[in-house]
Chain A
């Protein structure tokens, strides 16, 4: 990433961290907290997308993490952050068990199977009421620790966690493993021939991703003091995918931008009470049609547009025409 880009991102991170100090009101902190929590899920899904697979069941794993964290706390008395760790381990374990089976599947089939898996998990949450409280969920989950009881304190907790998780994913993607992952996505067979343990790489990414989204589940339960299956539906899974696609699937930053966009946009549209959903839909259409690569390419596209408007494109086209003729 260009140094200018890094500086901008650094400034924005500092600004976001300072939000409770400069922004102060509880509503902004609520939105900020929910954005931070969703960044964890969106970036973790990005890791899976980079291996060439889109999971439409991510919210199901989030649910496993959430319920595990809630139950180990309320029934077994495990303190924070131990219960969150359990919330990360449980979905990862499931991913480890079924990943090797599912990740053999090609792109579009993987999408569909994970969708069904998410539905089965949700049905499980709803039916197994002895354990999960069924459709009514579990109520009265205390804050992680008395110090995190205020909106500002919880915001910092969510923000810090999101930062650490995103950094983790970034580290994986930028290191040697990152290049292996890219090779797997671009051409599985070639990677296999080159000696890359393709399935292992994919399962590794999948396991890590589900562990991270499990953390989001656990923290959300603490935040709302409540957990219910309604938070882990295919709508939420789809939401994570939308965040990635609309932000831009080519870079991790896309997932972050996407999460920010998808969570805050409905809040901005609240003023138009009756039209809000319609406008949200129209905006999705326009963004996707105009910037297929996602919002992350907004800057690049804007530059292209400016260039073509100012006529520089004419020269460029002449050059490429000449090149094509030779």
Chain B
């Protein structure tokens, strides 16, 4: 309640003083940011915005980023892409032509990334994005100027499913309910393939995102006799509701999520019903670095921190280091410097490892370590740490 009141006061203050920025003595380097700041994907867009901003603030507080001869003050220019292709394209164009940006972090959704690429590739702008579509990296231009900074299904699913098969050999059939959007449609067939490769039968159905009443579909799934319910690429709250409703309807089998991750949100929605839930986890909240990051985050923002926040912070730190090592803002040099940054560790998740040659034809996928976590006695605990296979 108190922070809501503070926020309303802040809102009023903002309304009263849309003041101009004071001028800076130090030269400014603009870093572009694109993500959904409206519509359903806003949580991720804000995660990108805040994560990168935290990295920017850190660098500026230490005096700036020394690139070659100049020490720059960094500034993030964040634009909304509304999770659409046109939005990604317009935002990219605006950053490139109007803001004269040469290095962009984001977008997040596949349509937006593909839209942005149609502007960044011809203009030789560096793009460091997310997005589950394969052709973000596997395309005719061989991802010349773009990199992907977050693990996708191809990176984390095979190892997870293998682990499950070894540790829960009783699982014979998996049921998946996936959303009918770009990510869901890309991910579901992939996951089905990985399950089948481990000898597990698969049953799936897709639904139009927006509805939150899953009991009919869960009932239908249970009638198939599944012993594993995989929440796959569902949004945090949808996943939480699916778990809660499945337990309420009497489903007794294993529930886990090869996707997300959204453990905190699921625990918040499902309460005690989340006991025994397993999930992909992309950040170790219990490590000292993780705890410090969460503390720093909560100095500025209240509520649940979306797990993508530290991942984008990590991405930004890697980009800034590449800029520093390149000694220049020239995109070709920064690109080379990024690839050469293999082994550099921003200190929050792990060292830079590039991979993806076998799957995409080019090593522009950042391989980030991930965990399998579980909910035990109302708390999230890490079970095993896995590094994606470098292929």
Contact = CB atoms under 8 A, between A and B. Distances in A.
Interface of A: 25-28, 30-31, 34, 123, 126-127, 129, 134-137, 139-140, 220, 224-228, 230-231, 267, 270, 272-277
Given A25-B97, A270-B94, A231 B135 contact: no
Given A136-B110, A226-B115, A267 B135 contact: no
Contacts of B86: 34, 220, 224, 231
B111 A228 contact: yes
A137 B85 CA distance: 10
22 contacts: A26-B96, A26-B97, A26-B119, A27-B93, A27-B94, A27-B96, A28-B97, A30-B89, A31-B90, A127-B180, A134-B185, A136-B111, A137-B182, A140-B135, A220-B86, A224-B86, A226-B111, A228-B182, A230-B85, A231-B84, A267-B94, A270-B80
Contacts of B182: 135-137, 228, 230
Contacts of B111: 136-137, 226, 228, 230
B180 A135 contact: yes
B108 to A, nearest CB: 14
B33 to A, nearest CB: 10
Interface in B73-93: 78-80, 83-86, 89-90, 93
A230 B96 contact: no
A273 B96 CA distance: 18
| Shortest 9 CB-CB contacts between residues of A and residues of B | A27-B97, A30-B93, A26-B97, A25-B97, A135-B182, A135-B185, A27-B93, A134-B185, A27-B98
Contacts of B118: 224-226
B64 to A, nearest CB: 23
Contacts of A126: 180-181, 185, 208
Chain B: number of interface residues, binned into ranges:
35 or more
Contacts of B37: 273
Contacts of B89: 30, 224
A224 B85 contact: yes
Given A136-B133, A140-B135, A224-B118, A231 B85 contact: yes
B14 interface: yes
A93 B115 CA distance: 30
B125 to A, nearest CB: 11
Contact of B85 (A27, A129, A134, A226): A226
B16 interface: no
Interface of B: 14-15, 18, 37-38, 78-80, 83-86, 89-90, 93-94, 96-98, 110-111, 114-115, 118-119, 123, 133, 135, 139-140, 180-182, 184-186, 208
A225 B119 CA distance: 10
Contacts of A274: 14
B85 A228 contact: yes
B185 A136 contact: yes
B90 A34 contact: yes
A140 B139 contact: yes
Contacts of A127: 180
Contacts of A277: 38
A224 B115 contact: yes
Given A226-B118, A231-B84, A26 B181 contact: no
Contact of A273 (B78, B97, B140): B78
Contacts of A34: 86, 90
Contact of A140 (B78, B115, B140, B184): B140
A275 B185 contact: no
Contacts of B93: 26-27, 30
A169 B340 CA distance: 58
A25 B97 CA distance: 6
B184 A135 contact: yes
Given A126-B185, A139-B139, A275-B15, 12 more contacts: A26-B96, A26-B123, A27-B96, A30-B89, A34-B90, A126-B180, A135-B181, A224-B115, A228-B111, A230-B111, A270-B80, A273-B37
A278 to B, nearest CB: 9
A63 to B, nearest CB: 13
A71 B368 CA distance: 37
A140 B135 CA distance: 9
Nearest to B95: A27
Contacts of B80: 270, 273, 276
A136 B186 CA distance: 7
A55 B37 CA distance: 29
A226 B14 contact: no
Nearest to A24: B97
Contacts of A270: 79-80, 94
